[in-house]
Amino acid sequence: MAIVTMREALNQAIREEMQRDENVFLMGEEVGAYQGAYKVTKGLLEELGPKRVIDSPITELGFAGLGVGAAMVGLRPIIEFMTFNFSILATDQIINSAAKMLYMSGGQFNIPIVFRGPGGSAFQVSSQHSQALESWFAYFPGLKVVMPSTPADAKGLLKSSVRDNDPVIFIEQERMYGSKGEVSDDPELTIPLGVADIKREGKDVTIVARSLMVPVALKAADLLEKDGVSCEVIDPRTIRPLDIKTIIESVKKTNRVVVAEESHPFCGVAAEIASEIMERAFDYLDAPVKRLSGADVPMPYAKNLEDAAIPNVDQLVAAVKEVAYIE
Amino acid sequence: MRKRTPEPTRVGAEDTSATGLMDQDSAEDADARLDPAEAEALKAAQKSRFAELDRATLQSIYRQMLLARRFEEKSAEAYSTGKIGGFCHLYIGQEAVAIGAISAIGKDDYVLTSYREHAHAIAKGMSPDSVMAELYGKAGGCSHGKGGSMHMFDKEVNFLGGHAIVGGQIPLATGVAFATKYKETDQVTLCFFGEAAVNQGAFHESLNMAQLWKLPCIYICENNQYGMGTSLERAMSLQDISQKACAYEIASEFVDGMDVLAVREATLRAVERARKNYLPTLLEVRTYRFMGHSMSDPGNYRTRAEIERHQERDPLKLYSASLKEEGVLSDSELQKIDDEVRAQVEQAVRFAEESPQPAPEELFTDIYADPIQANE
């Protein structure tokens, strides 16, 4: 065990998986000589060589599709998007090719590929560079969507994603690359996809939070504890398939739930989770399910406006008090 | 005014100056027909290619072309009686391209193509039974009835689909070629697409990477001169597609797509380049689609006369005439092949008819290779 950053944990996961399996290769913009735009791939070119760590031209549709094609015939690509905002150019290959190949080939061609990179808000990079796109990708059967919130989860889940035989969308939070935590150095330690993690146990209110909202939820839970409200914080970690069982079990215990996310509310993941809870645990609810989402606007540049667009601890505390009927 | 294709060396580039919608058949006349001297020259060129090939190969190529033709004629019939649903894009008129090119590669090599792929699938070695059953949406289909006309796949013979977004298969094929180089095999990948796909970003992004990284992919543009109902002239600024390879320093050739042996020879040259030196090639193969874009095509964008003019160079007729004149096959032998091919197609139809529908539970299989039951 060592204390490392999210960035280093991801780097370890990629390195270990590439050392373990020579069919794994890494491709993306600036992943090699530049050492990664966010330094996630630092040192990999030197260690693993240019055959396996490949700097691509800025050609997202092209290299995403190249990855899917390579995966059809036995390679296991890790395709880095410098940010998931740029994956929008590649969605034809992700959605029309990767997500559907196994089905429309009658089970003949599975696509073991990881599309990874940072997503969500960053630091004042405005509308085109601050998008949380998980609900887009999670919409499609055939894709798996993973969003880690701690360095340990990041490492274990990325290793599982590389070993998985299906296309995985692995969204890292740009603001969280520097966050630190304990990470195992056991190269065989993985975290299974589709399993939620209870980040904090509690009995009064359930907070379902992912990615950037997990530390926000934990801070809110600390503050609420002082007011005598015990919060259970659940991190689904995998958005699709969603571990709804763990969420429902918690709701049956607390009878109150807030779903927090930094993405837009409309047609979002929180809306889906709220709907699942209503269908599966309506009779257990003592208050309507509350969503706390990012503002339904393109991300602005100005610092004060950007801050206002991303859910914060105070808003989450207020949301929890709302479902607990506390003034 | 009619303009002639400027490149004198480019055989088979016929007059395609028609733009806009045509409302009747009268516009074309005798002067639009192929010049008799030119026609003779093209025929002589085809015959000159015979010397290189043994009788069995020549005959097998003919059989494949005829099988593709008869198979699709039967598909059209089954479509019109409602046995086949959805979209059904026929390849009739273009057979020399798929059969010529695929005759130049081996079983271990890969083929990817678009949604007009019945002939490619059969030429790569897929059973007509499984292709017809797929058209029928039956469990015995190559994709178990989940893909249909546009999504034929067969891992056994390295036929990698059947892709229905224009140009979508081009990056995929580039990736397959990347993988064969990564694994240091000598396999090559053929990537077929129509000329309309050349306007997609996927084409340009792929050619750039293929030459940048020296990938053994052979890009075969089947220029049938119409993207659905829009003629090449109405859709492409620079219509000389083989020239687009210059932008990426890729080797390219312009090929007469009505001459099956010309396609085969050009592909063989590209295959050698790919196998020996991991180099890509772009082939522009000029062909013509005799049928509509799909079964629901109103056909109001071109004239009957234009179609007939191209039918004078029907690749099957050209090739069978050459086979006869060169003494490779007699009339009765040609007839015998036709009888055998028709029987094979009848058998495919029988197989498709008798094959069961997919089981209802198949709706929920093949979504994930590693399903996770978290959501239960």
What pLDDT score does B10 carry? Answer: 34
Q: Is residue A8 exposed (0-12), middle (13-18) or buried (19+ Cβ within 10 Å)? A: buried
Beta strands across the sheet bearing A53-55: A53-55, A24-28, A76-80, A114-119, A168-173, A144-146, A238-240
Portion 215-244 of A in contact with B at CB < 8 A:
238, 241-244
- The residue with tokens 């003034």 is A327
Under 8 Å between Cβ of B153 and A108 = yes
Question: Between chains, do A112 and B369 touch, taking CB under 8 Å as contact?
Answer: yes
Tens-place pLDDT, residues A35-92:
999 999 999 999 999 999 999 999 999 999 999 999 999 999 999 999 999 999 999 9
Q: What residues does CATH 3.40.50.970 cover in chain A?
A: 2-183
B368 interface with A at CB cutoff 8 Å: yes
Question: Within a domain: residue B75?
Answer: yes
Under 8 Å between Cβ of B269 and B253 = yes
Portion 127-166 of A in contact with B at CB < 8 A:
141-142, 144, 164-166
Rounded (10°) angle between helices B260-277 and B55-80: 110
B367 interface with A at CB cutoff 8 Å: yes
Owning domain of residue B47: 41-234+257-280+287-354
Radius of gyration of chain A (CA): 20
What pLDDT score does B45 carry? Answer: 84
Under 8 Å between Cβ of B316 and B65 = yes
Q: Find out whether the peptide bond into A241 is cis, omega within 30 degrees of 0.
A: yes
**Where are any strands of DSSP class E within chain B?**
110-113, 159-162, 189-194, 217-223, 226-227, 230-231, 251-256, 281-286
What pLDDT score does A14 carry? Answer: 98
Tens-place pLDDT, residues B298-311:
889 999 999 999 99
Q: Is the CATH number of domain A197-323 3.40.50.920?
A: yes
Q: Which residues of chain B have pLDDT under 70?
A: 1-33, 374-376
Residue B325: give its domain's CATH number.
3.40.50.970
Partners of residue B361 in chain A, C-beta under 8 Å = none
A2-183 CATH pick, 1.10.1240.10, 3.40.50.970, 3.30.70.360, 1.10.3720.10: 3.40.50.970
Quote the number of domains for chain B. Answer: 1
Nearest chain A residue to B141 by CA distance is: A106
What pLDDT score does B6 carry? Answer: 37
What pLDDT score does B33 carry? Answer: 62
Which residues lie across from A172 on neighbouring strands? A118
Show the tokens assigned to B130.
């499984």
Partners of residue A64 in chain B, C-beta under 8 Å = 171
Question: Within a domain: residue B301?
Answer: yes
The alpha helices in B136-259, defined as continuous H runs, are 169-182, 201-212, 232-235
Question: Between chains, do B208 and A165 touch, taking CB under 8 Å as contact?
Answer: no
Between the alpha carbon of residue B264 and those of residues B114, B325, B329, the distances in Å are 20, 20, 20
**Distance (Å, whole) CA A242 – CA A246:** 9
Rounded (10°) angle between helices B331-354 and B128-135: 50
Torsion region of B208: left, alpha or beta (phi above 0 gives left; psi -120 to 50 gives alpha): alpha
A184 interface with B at CB cutoff 8 Å: no
**Distance (Å, whole) CA A206 – CA A200:** 10
Question: Within a domain: residue B239?
Answer: no
Question: Within a domain: residue B242?
Answer: no
The ipTM assigned to this model is 0.97
Total CB pairs under 8 A between chain A and B: 169
Give me the count of residues in chain B: 376
**Distance (Å, whole) CA B185 – CA B177:** 10
Question: Within a domain: residue B182?
Answer: yes
Smallest CA-to-CA distance from B103 within B68, B154, B135 is with B68
Tens-place pLDDT, residues B226-255:
999 999 999 999 999 999 999 999 999 999
Portion 157-216 of B in contact with A at CB < 8 A:
160-165, 168, 170-180, 182-183, 201-202, 205-206, 208-209, 212-213
* Tens place of pLDDT per residue across chain A (327 aa): 899 999 999 999 999 999 999 999 999 999 999 999 999 999 999 999 999 999 999 999 999 999 999 999 999 999 999 999 999 999 999 999 999 999 999 999 999 999 999 999 999 999 999 999 999 999 999 999 999 999 999 999 999 999 999 999 999 999 999 999 999 999 999 999 999 999 999 999 999 999 999 999 999 999 999 999 999 999 999 999 999 999 999 999 999 999 999 999 999 999 999 999 999 999 999 999 999 999 999 999 999 999 999 999 999 999 999 999 998
The DSSP line for A115-144 is: EEEEES--SS--GGG----HHHHHTSTT-E
Q: What residues does CATH 3.40.50.920 cover in chain A?
A: 197-323
Partners of residue B163 in chain A, C-beta under 8 Å = 97
Nearest chain A residue to B205 by CA distance is: A62
The alpha helices in A73-230, defined as continuous H runs, are 91, 101-104, 134-138, 151-163, 213-226
Tens-place pLDDT, residues B308-363:
999 999 999 999 999 999 999 999 999 999 999 999 999 999 999 999 999 999 99
What pLDDT score does B52 carry? Answer: 80
Instruction: Give catalytic residues of A, as residue numbers.
Output: 60, 129
